[in-house]
Structure 1
Amino acid sequence: MMTLRSALGRIGAQEDLNFLLTNRLPRRLATRAMGWISRIEQPLVRDASIGLWRLFCDVDLADAKEERFASLHAAFVRELRPGARPVAQDPSVLVSPSDALLGAHGTVAAGQVLQVKGSPYRLADLLQDEALGRAHEGCAYATLRLTAGMYHRFHAPADLAVESVRHLWGDTWNVNPIALKRVEALFCRNERAVIRVRLGDGAAMTLVPVAAILVAGLKLSFLREGGDLRATGGRTLPCTARLSKGAEMGWFEHGSTIVVLAPPGYTLDPTLCEGARLRMGEPLLRAPATARGKDLGDVR
């Protein structure tokens, strides 16, 4: 029993230290500093920073389009070589928009979704839109966490048309499991974007990429203002971009999260469970034939 208590005590101490180092430090200052350092192209600084990143993170650059990078930032936001991520072509399947670990998932109930087990938050607070939150009632959702070493770009989960984007200013909390257990409604606190899209069958869905500590940047490649979302002042930006399944939508400049809010009738792929490691293009959500074409309406 003492051995078990000691082990639990060490785990608790490690979690406390992790939380302290990644969340109790001046987050905005650390984020600005990391953003500056990561862009330095001086070879010694570049090689040292990439080396430290690879030492402390599970990084695999074998499928990157480039073999060498001008800076740590360039390695963070790397593109992949063609064919590195096969995309499931079944039209009834929504694929994972990114490489990720599957986090909390389920069905929106009473306007709430889970951050982690036992820790719900209001969907309307995440979206900052009460009507849109209500429109997703009863729909499936999935939380995808990108670790610091993963491929950081995200892609269209289906053939779709982007209807609008709204940038929401916020904090830079870490989104690792320790912070998710300790910080209430964390995703509702961080910088994020609400991306409304419509699938080819007319069904509407929402993607919410959430930025995090350190570089914290969020860029959208399909939107003219996507390189400087912070300058949009939280305005809802109409959009007419059409993207094919697997086409790039944007990228994070550090590890973070995407909350996928599915159209009515979609369910999590039965092969998946919490903690599953996904690669962009693999099946995430499936629609039964009877549910296809059902719509969330014209909620903006």
Structure 2
Amino acid sequence: MMKRLLRLLTELSSRKWVSKIAGAVASSRFSRKLIPTFAKSYGIHIDEAEKSLQEYETLNDFFTRRLKPGLRPLAVGEDKLLSPVDSMITGMGPIEDGTILNVKGQDYTLDELLNRSPHRQKYKHGFYFVLYLSPTDYHRIHSPVTGHTVESEYVPGKVYPVNDFGLKHMRRVLSRNERLITYIRHEYGEVSVVKVGALNVSSIRYVDDKVNANYERGGELAYFEFGSTVVLLTDTGTFTPRDNLKLGDKVKMGEELGQLHTK
């Protein structure tokens, strides 16, 4: 009964206008006063932030903060797939005939997740990671490879929570929420970086509000204006994951997720 009530309340609060209001508050001058409390409540490592707390104009400004240079070293080697974010791995595994299996008990098709893009055929037997960013995490998204943008697509949708409750108890939130999808061609193949919006995420933005033609590995790709999830896909036959990664592991931006190779 309680689970059904929580699902109903989540459904009612999943309208975009709710997130817009939350975003407006977080971007207001008043929200600046909330920064110290927010940082303390979530145990954020403020010593890693590029600026002091007093220098951030709004809560959203702090939330989308950059880090001090050198705090996220990149795994050595162009053939290493980098984690694009600081996050927890909430799903990972081979894609089986176009289906992402058992993300918190639910399956997702590439048709749904990639909005029926022609690119989906490349990933039919690839590999996937679901990377969840909590409010504690650094929220800028970086390129996992060196390459060039093949295509970018914005997919409108809901803003259901993508935390543990949302993934378990809401119907296929990763393919129902709004998404910003970037396809990047690299030396060994192609990757798809799917940025999934969530409850109270006012927007997902590319750095400088534009899609860049080329990206260096570790270069800034986009950022969330509140916590959310990235789904990272590799195309068929081009990737072997690290053998010591498991569900629930925390990874940092720039950390190696596995080895890229030719088909």
TM-score normalised by structure 1 residue count: 0.80
Q: How does 1:1-300 map to 2 (within 5 A)?
A: 24-25=12-13, 27-42=15-30, 45-47=31-33, 49-68=34-53, 69-114=56-101, 116-129=103-116, 131-199=118-186, 201-221=187-207, 224=210, 241-263=213-235, 264-287=237-260, 292-294=261-263
Moved more, 57-66 or 111-120: 111-120
Q: Which amino acid aligns with 1:283?
A: E
Higher strand share: 2
Moved more, 184-193 or 108-117: 108-117
- Superimposed CA distance per residue, residues 248-286 of structure 1 (whole angstroms, 9 cap, x where no aligned partner): 011000111111111323122122110100110001122
Q: What's the secondary structure of 2:47's corresponding residue?
A: coil
Q: What's the secondary structure of 2:76's corresponding residue?
A: coil
Take 2:179 and 2:41, find their aligned partners in 1: how far apart are those partners?
Answer: 26
Tell me the percent identity. Answer: 28
Gaps of 5+ in 2: none
Residues 184, 190 of structure 2: 8 Å contact kept: yes
Q: Which amino acid aligns with 1:246?
A: G
Residues 30, 273 of structure 1: CA spacing in aligned structure 2 closer, same or farther, 3 A cutoff? Answer: same
Q: CA RMSD in A?
A: 2.2
Take 2:13 and 2:217, find their aligned partners in 1: how far apart are those partners?
Answer: 40
For these two proteins, the number of residue pairs brought into alignment is: 260
1:186 to partner: Cα distance: 0.7
Gaps of 5+ in 1: 1-11, 227-238, 295-300
Take 2:62 and 2:152, find their aligned partners in 1: how far apart are those partners?
Answer: 27
Q: What's the secondary structure of 1:62's corresponding residue?
A: helix
Q: What's the secondary structure of 1:30's corresponding residue?
A: helix
Residues 23, 174 of structure 1: 8 Å contact kept: no
Take 1:21 and 1:55, find their aligned partners in 2: how far apart are those partners?
Answer: 28
- Superimposed CA distance per residue, residues 8-66 of structure 1 (whole angstroms, 9 cap, x where no aligned partner): xxxx96x7787666554354333112111111124xx422x224423543422221111
